[in-house]
Chain A
């Protein structure tokens, strides 16, 4: 295969990745009564319908809260653990490292069943806090992986310089370590937020009866038929989950450039 062939094939792969998603966005603006082809005309009515649908709005609020709390907790836990793994030497370290990232390679279905049965075994009802703990479990290994990679790049000499110039440990942390950690914290938060906001497989097992997150809401709606509302909901989700990281990245780049 020549260079032109490789380029053409790569273009096709990108097309394959984005075309179906583009179709969802396209159909969400379709005025037809059914959520599929043919396209009849441009309309925003499905978005309007979306905002008037109490169940969907509630699911959005649940998902948002869940993702925010999950992001904060698992980033905090993940950063502390990563600092321990990157900066300290202790017996059993490689085992701990393996355990921390293990959930990545355990099928989510099994993770879901595990926590569910644990709750049954304890005779505890499924509740929102349990769902939140589950999301922390799922996002934690990714946060550890991402944050560790960023932490390795932070040189200890900066901290040592601050300490030798007379700053105390707390001053050093807030003046040196914390600003240097910022990109890692940011990456962790973003990663955990997206994972929680997107999660469907394990959430189906963990959600309390009657509680829906946006993905489980879509999943439930799919059982009937493809309504145009699903497309509109999909479009809103895409704007949020793609738009936030893109905006964050662009802002980070802007501020990095603005620095003297």
Chain B
């Protein structure tokens, strides 16, 4: 069976085509195309502009995906789209496109939970069996484990998501948003050497990032204004913008690894799967690997094609649901900004 997946819950618009072989086995990715709305340095992406971007690009991307996969419309079994969570206006644009294609091609629709899309794609690509999942992106920070037909949230960010914290700090420093603010912070952090003290906010399996952002924003102001050059306590060297990127990464990723380890100890699992855009950060993957090795476990991560929002994950999760007989009726093909991971009944797993 073949599914078309449309994703546009944030600033990435993704279209993917996936094939599930009739006798089971690994899924075939027929095409996976994406176009990202990049805002100027110092600015985030606004819902209005992002939705406009998606409307402008959706037809082109669907055409391109179909062409790459060399498929005819008749080959497609269902059209999957992101129902939520995400930004309202971009979600709506994509839902409208999905409905339009559904009517035009006379295909069933499947509304997909964005987070479940990430988890299922990560499992498919890495082959992780029953991992604890760390889902980290610009809008979401969750530690998830599967139990009796649901992806249960063990811990999560209590305020802003970790990716949002990084994105907004990139705005403070006016770092480029191309290809992604987090990527550019990661590159700068490689030059950083001094660790500045930042709040460390872990509560059980939950964590908080807004205080860290406020705190490092204040430090950034001082570095930029060069107010007497704040110095490192040990070496007496001047703190740089690179040091701030380094410190921010070290602090927030230590928090994420800590809550993941706690969840692993809690459920007795030795596998971790990292999904979501922040999951493509190599330092986070490295730290998670050290933790997992010390527990005699292993870490699974995917590269940017599958970590960062994409259409193929929506196609994959949607097709899993479709194969168990669940579709979304045309009149129910809405989208929602709030759609928790544990609301989805996972019929396709043991």
Bound pair: A and B?
no
Chain B residues at the A interface, C-beta cutoff of 8 Å? none
